[in-house]
Structures are given as C-alpha cells and as structure tokens.
A and B are shown apart, each in its own frame.
Chain A
Amino acid sequence: MATLARGVAVQRSLTDRLRAPRYTGYLLVLPAIVYVLALIGFPLVLGVWYSLTNTTVAEPGHFIGLQNFVDVAKDPTFRLAVRNTLIIGIVATAAKITLSVALAFLMLGAFPGRGIMRILFVLPWTIPIALSTIAYKWMFISQYSVVNWIFIRLGILTDPGINWLGTAVPAMAAVIFVSTWRAVPFGAITVLAGLTAIPTDVIEAARIDGAGWWARFIKVIVPIIAPILFIALLFDLIFTLSELTVVFILTGGGPVDQTQVLANYALQVGVNGTQLGQGAAISLYMFPVLLVLTILSLRHIAKREGM
C-alpha cells in the first residue's frame, strides 16, 4: 500500500508525521467556514439591514429604524400569522412527539410483516413534502374530497361533508395533520434508536421491584430517552415554526388568512409584494424564539458530547 511513500517517509520521525501542522488543519476547515459565513452569515446580516430600511425590489431604500417592525405589528394579517404559527408549532410538535414515542414502542419488538411495514411506514418522510402536500390538496379539495367520501360512508360525517380547505378550523387541522404525518416516521426511528440502547436488565430490575408499566415508563424509560427526545423536539419545533411548504400548497394561507403563517406571509409581502424590508421584518420576528430554541439545543448537545 505504501511502497512509493516509504522511501521518502522514513527520513522523518513518526511523531512528526502524526502531528500534522496546525495551519493545515485550519486550512481544511476553512472552506466550510467561508461557505457558511458567505451564504448564511452574510444574508442574515443583510436581512437585518433590510428590515431596518424601506428597501423594495426596485429601490435600494434608506434607513428607517424600527418602522417596519412597528407597521407590521399593527397589521391584522401579521397577528393572525403569529397566532397560527404558534398553534401549528405547539399542536403539531405535541402530536409528533406522542405518536413517535408510541410507534417506537410498537416497532421495538418483532411482529409479522415488520419489513414491509417499515418501508410503508417511512414513506411519508421520504417523499418530497411538496409532492405529498399536493396529493393532500386533492384529497381535501371541496367537491371531490375522498376524505369526505370515506367519512360519509363510515357514518362519521353527513353529506356533503366538510369544506376542509375553505373553513378556518378544518383548514388548520389539515395543515397540522400533514405536518405531523410527515415528521412522525423520522421521530419514531430516532426514538427507536434511543430505546434499543436501553439495557433490558434496567427495565427488568424495575419490574422485579414491582413497578407497573406506567411507573416503568415514567421513571425508567423516559429519563433514558429524554435527552434524544428533547433534541428531537427542539429541532422539530424550529423547523415547524419556520415551515412554509404545507401552508403554501395546501391552503395558500387561506381561507382569508385563517391559516396564514409567518414564513408564508413574509414570502407574500417580501417577494410577491416586492417589499423586501417589510418581508424581512416579518420573518425576523421569529428570530428571538428560534435563537432561544437554538441555544437550548446546542447547550444540550454540548452537554451530551461532554464539551
């Protein structure tokens, strides 16, 4: 393997070669840092600058202080967007965590058809979300809704069913459902990985001590899978709060902004409405919340990594 290098290499001592020069190390990291600074760091700063100006697509604009943030806060659509973003974030995250844990337990043991079911189980997570959401739109569309057709025949709804995407609460429910549907497989697989790492004798010891299944769950299993669950929860919350695809395709924020979310509203104002400054301000309203969640996540990971 090393016949070519051998002749040259023997001249230097082994320890010399084991210790690569420091600048080489930093040089190897440099491209990643440059990429991230140029295309994440810089745009983030630029976005903050835009939010403090009246920049539009056509005009560079000038500094106007916090005027955009003040204007946006008075906007009723913005308020709806904040409310909906929070509702979707909280309800969907709660649903995702509950289902993920339940399904992880379900998949922990062997059962007939496990292989094929696992493939079907991960499907929602593997297909691009834009494509599955368009299928959901077709399932919920007013006149031809197959969801209504099935529910009516099951006796759950009466004819003509629900106008899912045209009514405020059902439209929110549909958005939350699709968001949850998509994320559960990944959550369950992550929790499952955590569960398989629990030594069975720990659970057995608790069982011999007379702990019932609920006590075993709360006192033994939860503390062990809590760290992984906590990180999964924070990550999911960050991405759910900033999500746009489901709302954009399924409802477009409608009916009349009843499912409007911050990301979609920022798009409507900032890109479609060409008001870059105001759009940037709308999305930056999310920043404090996301920052807190990010710091919590990172501290948690740092602790786990022993840093």
Chain B
Amino acid sequence: MNCRDVERSLIEHEKPGAARVPAHVQKHVLTCKRCGEFMRALNPSIMADAPAPEILRRLEDTLTTGLRPVRPLAPARYFYAAFVVIFILIVAAGVYHLGASGISAMSPGQSIAILCALSASAWLLVYSLVHQMAPGSQHRISPTRLPTAVIGLLALLMAGLFQFQPERDFWGSGLACLRAGGPFALLAAVPFWLLLRRGAGLSPRVTGAAAGLLAGLVTTSAQEIYCPILDASHILTWHLGVALLGGSIGLAAGFAGETAGRRLKPAQR
C-alpha cells in the first residue's frame, strides 16, 4: 500500500453512505502524514453556506404562481422507435424515388458492410439523442465525441471498401448526386427537430451536431443504395460529405441557439 493506492482507492469507493475506504487504506492514512492531510483537505464539512430564506420564499412564490400539472416525458423506447421509424421511412422514400442501382453495382460484401455501418452509426446517434433529451441520463458513449467518431469511422470504412479511381466528371456527377439525395436530409431534419423539442437538450451544440449528422446519414444511406459510382473520392465527398455538412449545420444552429439563449437575461425567458 502506497500513497498512489490511496487515491485509487478513493475513486473506487466513491459511494455515498458506504464505508468510504477499506481498512488497509485507512491504516495507511493513519500512519502517513501526507495522506492524512490529503484526506482531511477533501473533507468539506466546514462548508455551510445556506441560501437566504427570503430568496427561497420568493422562488417558491414565483414558481407556485401558475403551477400546472405536466405529463412526464414518454419512456425512452418510444423515442427510439420514433427516430428509427422516421429514419427508415425517409430512406425508403428516397430509394423508392431514386432507385437502387448502387446495391447492384456493389459486391454483396460491400453492400452488407456499408449498410451495416450506416445502420450502426444511425443507431448510436439515436441512442445518444434520446439520452440527451432527458437531463441526467446515463451515457455509455460520450455524446460530445460520438459525432466525430461516427464520421471518422465511416470515412475509414468507405476509404477501405472502395477504390480511388479517376472519375471523368467528378463535379458534375457529384452535384447531381447531391441534388438527388440532399432534400431527404432536410425532410428528415424537421421530424427529428420536432421530436427533440419534447425533451430538454442541455447542450444545443452537441444535440444539434448529432441530430444534423443523423439527418445527413439519411441522405448518405439513400445515396449508397441509389448511386452506382463506386469511386471512393466520390463516395467520401458527395455521400459522406452530406452527413458531415448536416452535422456542421446542426452544430452551427445549436451554437446560435445557445448564444441567443445566453444573451437573454433569465427574466426575459
């Protein structure tokens, strides 16, 4: 047992109400002056600033005025289902409208890999968004890092699955692809936003980026099924680029919303 073990033990035994540290750690703390001081310094018992009673009374009065019953947020499974259904319906509408020549151009391995990766990415984003709607939810994946990780992993997979080939009309075919698929991202963004409004996204930037990316992935998925061009640079720029653009627009919208919200004084809200 050394001083580093005390810190490790402190972290491992962070449970309110339970015995904070095991006996062998307590024994070390009793004999080691530095650890003893460290443990005493972390004891916040001397803090006792209480709010003024008149502030609490005023708060009660303000909040009690017009207090109405509210219906708690629906269970998370309903939101999962809603996001997934919207995603699938709009991708299906895209495929119905544009066709599925991309699937026949790809090998079965490529089709399975790309569709599984897109489904998994969309699912992770849905999971993150549903958890962001209710403050204090448990996140198994950091919501801040998820959008970047999704884009990065999809880019790596696409670059690995498809070959970089010289394309004759990179801009022309790319813009045509974007024009065909782009509207589906906009179409998905609206119901996603309506669903998210029901919750309380505490970090509009993070929520905006994830929602924008999810809407962009609707287009990416439809384009993967529809577009027969298998050049990696085309797929990365014009298919995955839409998802990246969606995420960036969501991030910017969230940032604008956050800044506008902060500029308002609490009394104005």
Interaction A to B: no
Chain A residues at the B interface, C-beta cutoff of 8 Å: none
